[in-house]
Structure formats: C-alpha cells, structure tokens
Amino acid sequence: MPTPTDFKDYYTILGVDKKATPEEIKRAYRKLARKYHPDLNPGDQQAEARFKEINEANEVLSDPEKRQKYDQFGQYWNQVNQGGAPPPRGAGVGVGGVDFDQYTDFDSFINDLLGRFGGADGSGRRTYTYRTSTGQPSGFTSPPPADTEAAIALTFPEAFHGTQKRLQLDDETINVRIPPGARPGSRVRIKGKGRPSPFSQQRGDLYLTIEVLPHPFFQFEGDNITCEVPIRPDEAVLGAQIDVPTPDGNITMKVPPGVRSGQSLRLRGKGWKLPQDKRTDLIVKLQIVPPKDLSPIEREAYETIQAHSNFNPRTQLQEVKL
C-alpha cells in the first residue's frame, strides 16, 4: 500500500492544473513523452525513469474513471475495487481533500466517502462492488449520469419552420433537429448526449434552451405574435382592404371604418405554429400615419374636410380640471 512518502502527484508530473481538460492533459503528455523518450536519450537512466512516471501519470489522468478515483482518494485511489489495509494513521489529507486520520479502518473510509451516493433507483445509477479488509463484499452506487444544459440561438424563420443544427460538444459533433414552432425559453431534449458519469461512463441527456433572435417586424406576445401596420387617415375613416404580412406571406385584411390609431385586429390561425398543425393568432396593431408631403388636390381635400367637419375628438377634455 502506498505511503505518504511514495505518493506521486500525477498533475505535477505532467505539469498541468488539477482542473485541466482531457485535451490539455493529452498535449502535456505528448510534449513530455517526446522530450524524455528513451530513443532520444540513450543511456540516460534519469530520462528513462521520468518517461515511466509520465506514462504512469497519463494512464491515470487520461482515464475518466481512474482520474475521478484519484482525485477523490489520493494515494489510495487504486484500492476502491480491491481489498486493502486501513489507511495509515498520519496519512493526512489526500489529493481530493480527504483527511485520512479520521478513519479507523478501510471500511469506514470507503463507506463515509461513497455512502452519500445512496442506493440504485433505476435512473442510470450503477452499483460497484469491492472486497473489504475483512474479505466481505461491500459496494457503493455511482451518481446518475449528468444531464447537460446548453443554449442555442435561432432566427425567427428557423424557429417557426424548424431547422437542423450542427453543434460542437467538446470533441464531438452532433446534428440536432429543432421541430417547427420552437419558442423562446422552450427546451429540446437530445437523449444520451449529456456528459458521461465518471464511474459508469453512461451519458445523461442534453437539454437545449431555445433563444429566438429578434425579428424586425414580428414580436411574441404571449402565445400569439404581433405586428404593427400603418394605415392612412382616409383608410381609418372610410375603412379599407389592406395587405398584411404574415409568417406564411401576405394576406388581405379588412379594416373597418372608424378605427383608432393603436387599435388591434386579430387574424385567427395566422400566428405561431403549435403541435398537431395548429396555429396561434396574429395580432395586427394599426397605426394611423398622416402624409407629410401633400399634393395640391390632397391639401384641398383636407382643407375642405377641416372647414366642414363638426367632429371634435377633444369634447371630453373640456371637463378635465385639477
């Protein structure tokens, strides 16, 4: 069994941080292996010993399961699946921050550190068995595979019609199908593409949270979408048939006579896509826009209306007082 004096800090040997990524560990190993390879240092016993240490460190740190145990148990990591004597008194604190002095035997050491994982519950946990110092079988259950959260930004058309996206997750490229009608804040689940459990290597699921980029014309309003459409004063007074953009293209909408600026009209079934080929509504907000440049005929017509109109939209303001 290792003692505090023969313990090897594999991170120091490879010259990497304890939070180093697998790619950083791989690069560090290759660089050192080339430097101390026996073929490049013939007859150099120190280089040969260093080369063996580098390979030993890489064997542990490049393996997710071994690295997890090494980080947790320090010099006692390799005893998790084996029988062994109790950790020696005075072993102190290991790599994983474990104070070995508090344990009277190896069973207590294992049970305290691993018992927190609880029993198997059918959610992807895996049970590991080892032999205790008395020869009796015991074990622990790994935590379930971890689900991974990520965000993905879609344009308005991509979210409305659905799309295929290619994502880069660490060293893996995956193709993701986004169904039509994805809404801001909704989530898409990709089974088996989460991070692997450090014990069982079983992968959790990947959950993508949808972000929809702003559109220059359409906006979300609850379950519906809205847009703002300008109309002329005469169209507001007399009513009109106007063309209105929708996600499916332009349609003709009837504007009733006497509408006000800011009034909303509803186009049913012309909004956002829902499951089973259903649709929400498109809310059209009307804005009366007066012309800035009038032709002589238009000016004469407006002056005639002004001279002969008896309509006063400010009548109710006469009663307003402090």
Residues of the chain with CATH 2.60.260.20: 148-212, 219-308
The architecture that CATH gives domain 148-212 is: Sandwich (2.60)
Q: Which amino acid is at 76?
A: Y
Residue 142 pLDDT class (50, 70, 90 cuts) = low
Say which residues have a Cβ less than 8 Å from residue 195's Cβ, sequence separation at least 6: 145, 146, 148, 203, 204
* Predicted local distance difference test score (pLDDT) of residue 226: 97
Which homologous superfamily is 219-308 in? Urease metallochaperone UreE, N-terminal domain (2.60.260.20)
Query: Per the structure block, which two tokens stand in for 284?
Result: 């059209």
Q: Which of 169, 165, 159, 167 is nearest to 177 (CA)?
A: 165
* Predicted local distance difference test score (pLDDT) of residue 284: 98
Task: In whole angstroms, give the CA distance from residue 217 to residue 227.
Answer: 6
* Predicted local distance difference test score (pLDDT) of residue 117: 41
* Predicted local distance difference test score (pLDDT) of residue 110: 52
Note the CATH number of domain 10-126.
1.10.287.110
At residue 318, the 3 state secondary structure works out as: helix
Q: What is the pLDDT of residues 284-295, one digit of tens each?
A: 999 999 999 999
Q: Which amino acid is at 158?
A: E
Say which residues have a Cβ less than 8 Å from residue 202's Cβ, sequence separation at least 6: 124, 126, 145, 196
Burial of 66 (0-12, 13-18, 19+ CB in 10 A): middle
* Predicted local distance difference test score (pLDDT) of residue 225: 97
Q: Which of 13, 23, 19, 24 is nearest to 57 (CA)?
A: 13
Residue 234 pLDDT class (50, 70, 90 cuts) = very high
Task: In whole angstroms, give the CA distance from residue 302 to residue 266.
Answer: 31
Task: In whole angstroms, give the CA distance from residue 308 to residue 97.
Answer: 90
* Predicted local distance difference test score (pLDDT) of residue 162: 94
Q: Which of 135, 92, 108 is nearest to 100 (CA)?
A: 92
Angle subtended by helix axes 64-73 and 45-61, to nearest 10: 100
* Predicted local distance difference test score (pLDDT) of residue 83: 45
* Predicted local distance difference test score (pLDDT) of residue 8: 79
Contact 182, 154 (CB under 8 A): yes
Residue 104 pLDDT class (50, 70, 90 cuts) = low
Contact 208, 148 (CB under 8 A): no
Name the residue with higher pLDDT: 268 or 35: 268
Q: How many CB atoms lie within 10 A of CB 45?
A: 9
Please give the order of strands across the beta sheet that includes 219-221: 219-221, 224-231, 282-288, 264-267
Question: In sequence order, what are the beta bridge partners of 252?
Answer: 243
Burial of 286 (0-12, 13-18, 19+ CB in 10 A): buried
Name the residue with higher pLDDT: 92 or 11: 11
Q: What is the pLDDT of residues 153-176, one digit of tens each?
A: 999 999 999 999 988 877 788 889
Contact 305, 311 (CB under 8 A): no
Residue 7 pLDDT class (50, 70, 90 cuts) = low
Task: In whole angstroms, give the CA distance from residue 213 to residue 154.
Answer: 6
Q: For residue 122, is it left (φ>0), alpha (ψ between -120 and 50) or beta?
A: left
Q: What is the pLDDT of residues 180-204, one digit of tens each?
A: 999 999 999 888 887 776 666 678 8
* Predicted local distance difference test score (pLDDT) of residue 250: 96
Q: Is the pTM of this model over 0.85?
A: no
Residue 72 pLDDT > 70: yes
